[in-house]
Structure 1
Amino acid sequence: MEEDASALSPPHGDSDTARSSDSRCTTPSLSGSSASAELLKTPTRTVNGPDVPPHAIVRLIQCSRCSLPFRTPLRLPCGDALCRECLPPIRPRTGVSYPANEERKQGFRCYWGRGVCGADHCLGDCGADVLLTTLVGVFDEVLGRGSSPEGTAAESAEEDAGQTLIWKGARSDKAELDVESAEIGSDPLSGVFDLVGKGRLGYDASEIRYEPFVPACYERYTHSLDKLRAAVCNELDCHVCYSLILDPLTTPCGHTFCGSCVAMALSHSNLCPICRRKLNMSSSVRSERINKRLSDIIQTLLPDEVASRRAELPSDMDISGEGTIPLAVVSLAFPTMPIGLHIFEPRYRLMIQRIMESRSRRFGMVMPNRRGRLQQGLGRAPFMQYGTILTINRHELLPDGRSLLIATGTSRFKVISWELVDGYHVGKIQRVDDVSVSEEEAQESRETTAAIETANRNVDRSIDSMSTQQLFQLALDFVLRERRQGAPWLHPRVLLAYGALPTDPALFPWWFATILPNWDEEKYTLLATTAVRQRLKITARWVKRLESRNWYVAHNHSKGSK
């Protein structure tokens, strides 16, 4: 955001003074009493500290709709925020069948700030923002009426030579911009906050300037900014790493952590680290938007602390999900599904021994590249590029050195590169995660809306145009029919090993692919998908093929021969 010219901005040559080292949150001193009027009217730089004018500081907690300080702020899926009272009109959402939650049946079109977003948001994705609410209270405590010995802006204006704020703002009854002005006293930061609290300074105010130049105002501004930064800094510790929050990510329950800390926490549990509520978020968090308002506050008020924090991060602390992992080139495995393995090869004995000595007890399972496919970045590697991370649940070492283990799939990955270590493969991997729920819903809405337009011309709608719930029901009905007919791949022993028929569309494709006989090459395509709908379309096509005459002849023959 480019800031307007401001008479409060110090001359560039004196702006970068030394910071004190006795506190994490410090403020540069403001100088410039000898600055000329021309220097004072140069545009402020888009850096932090005293170069940021008071209205830009206050705008950090100002609602873009009502222009008041946030009142019960709600986080939006796009990363911004609005007052609860400022939400756009709510309307029913159409063309969405998954997830089939009651709170996802209503939504609105976002009108945040000058056309920045404009997307359709689900009401269920908008919730309280605990930290932003706290910070608005901090701003009010530090800058509000009675917060300083100088008193209110009006009182300080009478006691000292103060400043006048001049700006252009649009009135509601006409389109042209009117020049407005107001006395803000000798403490510009508190004065501007007071104006915003009264609803006089709009969020979209332009051509803002401070007149006349008063050297004493710099001291008051520095004092207020010092207090504000120290107070805000005390609220910005992440409750996972206990350091300054980086890349703030707000959970559905309203709590905010570092993006990397959320990823780390979700890799172990799907519960919020503070309130222990279940989090329906991707564990890689790459599809989640950072909290833009909180990020702006942190970057604006604590720029040096942010830079120092990033420099101190360990090189392996990355929310992209990249890392290295030992690979077992054996067979297909899928997330959430168990798999039993008999380990007898010397190289895998060594690999499992090392895994059991590690804290994670994890390894990657990949399918052999039996056809010698050429794969991007891997060439003709002896294994397929996509695989599943397995966590060992049970390990039994036999007297002759062999071992039996049971593991469960936790997530998917793509192999970026690999090497041989003591005879077994080790791969550098990148996580594969699904898109956000909102993107999933948007994809379904687009495809089903297009189907309505062609419904009259095509009575038998294609799989691509079916709703997500219809795709799930198609496969579900097939499995139920097959079970009634005594299909051997649905024997009670199979269901005991892999679990009953899932009722969750997100889990069904993994279960179906695990128990369905043969077709490993086609099952493999599931691992690269990034949406539940994509996987359900694949399983629906399997069902169509399984119901064909050719498959049924072979299938019934195989059942009769047993």
Structure 2
Amino acid sequence: MSSVQASTSPTVPAPPTPSESRRSHSSQSEKSESDPGRNPAGTEDVVAASELLLDATEDVRQIIRLVQCWVCSRILHNPTTIPCGRSCCQSCIPPTHIRTNISWPATANRLYGFECPFEDCQKEHAIGDCSVDVTMNKVLDIIQQAMERDREVTQASGVSTYMSVQDQWQVAGLPSMEEKDPVSQVFKGGRIVSTYTMAETGQLKYTCEVTYTAVGATEEEVTARDEVAFTKLKEAVRTEMDCQICYALLLDPLTTTCGHTFCRNCLHRTLGGSEHCPICRRTLMMQPNVLQSDTPSNQRLVNMINGFWADTVAVRAQNVRAELQDELAGDFDIPLFIVSLAFPAMPTFLHVFEPRYRRMIRRAIEGDRMFGMVAGTQHPQPNGANFREVGTLLRIVNIEFFPDGRSLLESVGISRFRVTSHGFVDGYPVGRVEKIDDITLADEEAMEASETLTGQGVQNFTQLVTGAASEPPDTILQSGETRILTVQELDSKSTRELFDIAVSFVTRMRAQSVSWLQARVLAIFGDCPNDPAIFPWWFASVLPVSEEEKYRLLGTKSVRQRMKICCRWIVEWESSRW
């Protein structure tokens, strides 16, 4: 009989304390699932990457932790990856509650939420943001099948493993704080399958370590068996670890709200032209290119990929970085039309007569029909440009050419961007741009909850979905009185109340037949939208407000912030009339 300990680390690799250490030479690079700050791509240094690779002998406990739920400590069942990037069994998600002080978007799948079970997060997550992790679920099935095959092989061999469980106190050389005696048991098979079986039967707490003693075979024979089993396991799991956009090993895996996982960079590129999941076509309300702290990577898959193929990830990360650098060193992204401001989802009509812009539009028509619209300025910008840095990407919808080369074109706003550098091609400006995205929907909801809780206390907006009767919304003029809401009061209004205030104002102005709501204007921009996400762009397109104010609106990053700006315009409009 011989024995080996799975880990000699005096620290605990359990969430929420990310202090896991494998071997002494790699203790600084190995962290647990609860550490979203680690480099999701591992490292681009192939030599350093080798230190992240898990070993079939020394890292058995960590290998099984990859498939073990931190909440219940059993093997993950219906693994659900939550917005903070961590995973647990679907049944281990805490009890849900009605979310308060959130009026937008207030869709049915966002009315209920739960407090994150991971102590270093503790944020409220919406049920609509949590789905069964498709990739992890397939991986778990593969691992379970591999364990079952290994059990069948070892049944005939007579190899067993005596396992003794140690809690974090015992591992650190301190008296145990647990009331129960340590678990010791003999399991059929080598160390990997025995540890899996112990976790599967609920006898191995996530935080505990294990010591192993081989029974019926030498230590060398058990090690060789485990190495073969681990190699086969990695080969089987590898078939499910490709991104379904680039068809290469997942790099910085990001799991969407529908449960599908892609490389972060691949998803960013895809969502630049579509808001739907590339696999199931479900609408995704997320921005993969924002800070990783706002849309964390799938930590379970990150740890598995780094532990199994860190060297491959390093080479892949090098190649991706080289590709990005080549793109940055290449041509500019889009042609720029310097005229005036345009807005997302809104139409823009242009009379193109300058020769340089004729060439630009003809090339756009021959290509992807896209170009950028930026407003000119009389004062040079810091980068030396004669235009404002924030603009709107437009797609040409229709165009009519005249015999003399002029044209009339209709376009629609797609997204916003910021020009980071610019140049000229055949006389017309071109720019390298970065897309401007809103903050995450979770941050949008948290902003509203914080501001309305301070101003109005706890509010329940479930009636917005259920259709139950509710109190009439506040308006700028309260019940015929002359009192006008102040700008300060707007901060504590819910997003839905701000929207109702704005719609009420538009209704009154239309009844007064103001010039900016005449039929010819509405024929171009359409009727008042019923979506707070679209309303500000429509309102800025029709309301006679200064270009400075419109430009401020264009650069904002939240629906709530834009609605407050619109309502401030309304307050100023109403105030000027009295």
Indicate the TM-score class for this superposition, using the shorter chain for normalisation. Answer: 0.7 to 0.9
Aligned position for 1:494: 521
Aligned position for 2:62: 56
CA contact (8 A) 1:413 1:431 kept: yes
Structure 1 runs (4+) greater than 6 angstroms displaced: 9-12, 320-323
Distance change (3 Å), C-alpha of 1:63 and 1:499: same
Q: How does 1:172-187 map to 2 (within 5 A)?
A: 175=178, 179-184=182-187, 187=190
| Residue 212 (structure 2) pairs with residue 203 (structure 1) | no
CA contact (8 A) 1:161 1:214 kept: no
Aligned position for 1:364: 372
Letter of the structure 2 residue corresponding to residue 533 of structure 1: R
Alpha-carbon displacement from aligned partner over 1:69-115 (angstroms, at most 9, x marks no partner): 11112221111112122111222211111112122222111122xx3
Distance 2:166 2:362 in 1: 70
Aligned position for 1:272: 277
| Residue 124 (structure 2) pairs with residue 120 (structure 1) | yes
CA contact (8 A) 1:94 1:445 kept: yes
Give the Å deviation of 1:245: 2.0
Distance change (3 Å), C-alpha of 1:52 and 1:472: farther
Distance 2:312 2:437 in 1: 32
Distance 1:414 1:329 in 2: 14
Q: How does 1:534-549 map to 2 (within 5 A)?
A: 534-549=561-576
Distance change (3 Å), C-alpha of 1:178 and 1:400: farther
CA contact (8 A) 1:170 1:178 kept: no
CA contact (8 A) 1:267 1:283 kept: no
CA contact (8 A) 1:168 1:178 kept: no
Alpha-carbon displacement from aligned partner over 1:148-183 (angstroms, at most 9, x marks no partner): 4113xxx75xx2374534422689x96569644333
Distance change (3 Å), C-alpha of 1:215 and 1:116: farther
Distance 1:356 1:382 in 2: 25
CA contact (8 A) 1:77 1:126 kept: yes
Give the Å deviation of 1:142: 0.6
Distance 2:427 2:51 in 1: 57
Aligned position for 1:439: 443
Give the Å deviation of 1:531: 0.6
| Residue 224 (structure 2) pairs with residue 219 (structure 1) | yes
Say which of 69, 79, 82 aligns to 1:73: 79
Aligned position for 1:34: none
Distance 1:528 1:144 in 2: 56
Give the Å deviation of 1:45: 5.5
Q: How does 1:244-323 map to 2 (within 5 A)?
A: 244-282=249-287, 284=289, 287-313=294-320, 315=322
CA contact (8 A) 2:53 2:306 kept: no
Letter of the structure 1 residue corresponding to residue 302 of structure 2: S
Distance change (3 Å), C-alpha of 1:228 and 1:389: same
CA contact (8 A) 2:161 2:194 kept: no
Letter of the structure 1 residue corresponding to residue 570 of structure 2: V
Distance 2:181 2:491 in 1: 54
Q: How does 1:101-500 map to 2 (within 5 A)?
A: 101-112=107-118, 115-144=119-148, 147-151=151-155, 159-160=158-159, 162=161, 164-168=163-167, 175=178, 179-184=182-187, 187-206=190-209, 208-211=210-213, 214-282=219-287, 284=289, 287-313=294-320, 315=322, 324-358=333-367, 360-370=368-378, 372=379, 374-375=381-382, 378=383, 380-452=384-456, 462-500=489-527
Aligned position for 1:86: 92
CA contact (8 A) 2:346 2:537 kept: yes
CA contact (8 A) 2:150 2:229 kept: no
Distance 2:544 2:253 in 1: 45
Aligned position for 2:537: 510
Distance change (3 Å), C-alpha of 1:386 and 1:316: farther
Alpha-carbon displacement from aligned partner over 1:193-235 (angstroms, at most 9, x marks no partner): 01110111111114x4434681122211111111111111111
- Matched residue SS, 1:149: helix
Give the Å deviation of 1:284: 4.3
CA contact (8 A) 2:84 2:295 kept: no
Distance change (3 Å), C-alpha of 1:227 and 1:373: same
Distance change (3 Å), C-alpha of 1:344 and 1:367: same
Distance 1:131 1:292 in 2: 13
- Matched residue SS, 2:167: strand
Q: TM-score, normalised by structure 1?
A: 0.81
CA RMSD of superposed structures (Å): 3.2
Tell me which of the two structures has the higher relative contact order, counting C-alpha pairs closer than 8 angstroms and 6 or more residues apart: 2
Letter of the structure 2 residue corresponding to residue 357 of structure 1: E
Aligned position for 1:38: none
Give the Å deviation of 1:51: 7.1
Distance change (3 Å), C-alpha of 1:150 and 1:350: same
Aligned position for 1:19: none
Distance 2:235 2:548 in 1: 59
CA contact (8 A) 1:336 1:410 kept: yes
CA contact (8 A) 2:532 2:559 kept: yes
Distance 1:330 1:538 in 2: 24
Aligned position for 2:470: none
Question: What number of residue pairs does the alignment pair up?
Answer: 500
Letter of the structure 2 residue corresponding to residue 274 of structure 1: I
Aligned residues: percent identity?
39
Give the Å deviation of 1:452: 3.4
Distance change (3 Å), C-alpha of 1:243 and 1:145: closer
CA contact (8 A) 1:262 1:285 kept: no
CA contact (8 A) 1:46 1:52 kept: no
Alpha-carbon displacement from aligned partner over 1:512-555 (angstroms, at most 9, x marks no partner): 11112241111001121111001011101001111123xx48xx
Give the Å deviation of 1:242: 2.0
Q: TM-score, normalised by structure 2?
A: 0.79
Distance 1:117 1:4 in 2: 27
Letter of the structure 1 residue corresponding to residue 222 of structure 2: C
- Matched residue SS, 1:64: coil
- Matched residue SS, 1:349: helix
CA contact (8 A) 2:154 2:188 kept: no
- Matched residue SS, 1:70: coil
Q: Which runs of no fewer than 5 residues in structure 2 stay unpaired?
A: 1-5, 10-21, 26-49, 171-175, 460-484
- Matched residue SS, 1:425: strand
Q: Which runs of no fewer than 5 residues in structure 1 stay unpaired?
A: 13-43, 554-562
